[in-house]
Amino acid sequence: MKKQFFLLLIVFYSQCYIVNAQVVLQNNDETLFENIHQEKIFIHYNSSFLLTGENFYYKLYCLNSDNNTLSNISKIAYVALIDNELNEVFRQKVKLDSGLGQGDFFIPTSILSGNYKIVAYTQWMRNMGEKAIFQEDISIVNPFNENQEAILSKKIDTLNLENSNNLKTSSIADSKIFKSDFLEVSLAQKEFKNREKVQFQLKSIKENESYGNYSISVRKIKPFQTLEKASSFKYSTVETKSIEINKDKGVFLPELRGELISGTVIEKVTSLPVEDVKVGLSISGKQDDIFKIATTNNSGQFYFNLSENYNQPTAIIQLLSNTDKYKINLNSVAPLSYTNLKFSDYKVNKSISNYILKQSINNQIENAYGVVKPTEKEKAALEDLFYSSKEITFNLDDFTRFPTIKETIIEVVDVVTLKHRKGEISLDVIWANRTYNSGLLPLVLFDGVIIQDHNKIINYNANKIQKISVVREKYLYGTQMFEGIISFRSVKGDFSKLISNEDSTINVDLLKPLEKKVYFNQQYDGTDKLKRIPDFRTQLLWLPDLTINSKTKDISFFTSDVKGTFEISLEGFTNNGKPVSLKEVIVVE
């Protein structure tokens, strides 16, 4: 709580201005940052060598750099794949739940063969410079592309891997089997047949001291040398330096409550910042509208924190007053520089071509049967509408349809009336025992977007509207008082597109956070119902969300039709911040 208090001080009480979403301090408030712990990230990923058609899976641990316990500061992390020309192949936004997050990326045929970097960071980490970000090498082979110069060695071939099933002995000898002081893998056997159930038990050696958060990958060991994967041990020793305060560049604020969107309201004529101006943010959707109001501070700045789940890729930011005098300047986040990344010179030779061909064919078959091996998305809990418990709803299909909103209000919605004010029409909510007129307007929303000029929707085609909801009482939202709420929901949920070009609105493209998934775990029940479906999985298990809070934990999965040596890799941290890296192997004959 003390650390969060200092963060609030930074955001709300520092005399500062914003450049590229960074706070530039002006009153020697740099010492406030010394009270906030620094962060670092470790990623456990399934493989450092991938072919197109395969999935890159990862579990993200955001840690307090002082003691390696999970960080409670940032709620958003960013993961990107960088090519050797410093381009972002993909960039993903990951929600952090008490420092934990997860994601995946399908390797498409548009990616060229070569060496890449996987990087991860929080906005708060960026204050420590580029070297503080998590970065590891991975290699990708695209067998569908003729140009393999970036990954293919020119050395003479010396290996013959045509029959990779005979690699059991050499694979076991070459594999590093790690033991841990905290957890132990207990296997009744290490050799299995195709489509056989594998069961093992994780034992907490030190009981409570072993409890923590972990992730498990079970994947076939490659029959050739690949890049070594990162381990929790390695990243537990990474030293972090003091935050870099730069008077010109400023400080990146941590995303303490969710995605941070900020900007400044200025006068159109003077370009000076304006204090105490209301700004609205809307994300419209069929069922999950998000609506927020912020007020500019004495530097003209406003902030929105998006902690809610949403489905739409665009937000609309609107001025809620004096739209003819003011305008919004939205802050952009300066892109992360990758200029100091050093890429691996890892190469393969033509001796693995048969392996690549066979594995590529297997991947295509697996992807073709993906519909019967689905990965389940964990259904995100969409936020309840802030007025849902008090609304009166009119589903227009239950009534005689009228051509316009104006006629629908008059003939159907008996708790709303039309008023003429200074030659303009406005909507007004009717409720019992209302003894005076405050002069305030109701909050009018259309697919979650605030409507300030009611005349713009009066003649809107009512056949495009699904329902109208009304709240018949005063409503205080933030510091703004409204005389009730009127919410229109269109059939397609796309009304926001109609106002996207207005001067008082700005469209903000959102990088939607990844949805949490429950990954597919093949099951065989002893019947022949799956006999005709091929199973060429080399990734037998990916379990990113494993909590150990008991003396033992049972894990199970099934082998596939693929023979060879498979590695069980466990990574994570105890609740006390101790790293755990544990590896074991099994053989499928």
Strand ranges of the sheet holding 314-319, from the earlier edge strand across to the other edge: 290-295, 278-283, 314-319, 505-509
Q: Give yes or no for residue 206 having a pLDDT over 80.
A: yes
Q: How confident is the model at residue 388, as a pLDDT? A: 56
Q: Give yes or no for residue 94 having a pLDDT over 90.
A: yes
Q: How confident is the model at residue 497, as a pLDDT? A: 62
In this predicted structure, which of 203-212, 283-292, 530-539, 577-586 has the lowest mean pLDDT?
A: 283-292
Q: How confident is the model at residue 111, as a pLDDT? A: 95
In this predicted structure, which of 167-171, 243-247, 391-395 has the lowest mean pLDDT?
A: 167-171
Q: Give yes or no for residue 21 having a pLDDT over 60.
A: no
Residue 303, classed as helix, strand or coil, is strand
Q: Report how far residue 541's alpha carbon sits from residue 569's, in angstroms, rounded to the nearest whole number.
A: 10
Q: How confident is the model at residue 582, as a pLDDT? A: 93
Q: Report how far residue 9's alpha carbon sits from residue 3's, in angstroms, rounded to the nearest whole number.
A: 10
Q: Give yes or no for residue 483 having a pLDDT over 80.
A: yes
Q: How confident is the model at residue 164, as a pLDDT? A: 39
Query: What torsion, rounded to 10 degrees, do the Cα atoms 155, 159, 160, 162 define?
Result: -80
Residues whose CB is less than 8 angstroms from the CB of residue 554 and which lie 6 or more positions away in sequence, other chains included: 199, 200, 201, 202
Task: Write the pLDDT tens digit of every residue in 488-518.
Answer: 988 887 676 665 555 678 888 888 999 899 9
Under the banding of pLDDT at 50, 70 and 90, the label for residue 376 is confident
**Which of the listed ranges 435-449, 453-467, 495-509 does the model predict with the highest average pLDDT?**
453-467
DSSP class of residue 513 equals P
Q: How confident is the model at residue 391, as a pLDDT? A: 84
Neighbours of 225 (CB within 10 A): 11
Q: How confident is the model at residue 160, as a pLDDT? A: 40
Residues 223-245: what's their mean pLDDT? Answer: 79
Residue 12, classed as helix, strand or coil, is helix
Pairwise pLDDT comparison (579 vs 474), residue with the higher score: 579
Residues 279-290: what's their mean pLDDT? Answer: 77
- Side chain identity at residue 389, one-letter code: S
Residues whose CB is less than 8 angstroms from the CB of residue 433 and which lie 6 or more positions away in sequence, other chains included: none
One-character DSSP codes across 524-579: --SSSTTTTS----SEEEEEEEEEE-SSEEEEEEE--S--EEEEEEEEEEETTS-E
Task: Write the pLDDT tens digit of every residue in 149-177.
Answer: 999 997 755 444 433 333 333 344 344 55
pTM: 0.86
Q: How confident is the model at residue 7, as a pLDDT? A: 54
Strands 191-192 and 579-588 come out as parallel
In this predicted structure, which of 63-72, 265-274, 356-365, 432-441 has the lowest mean pLDDT?
A: 432-441
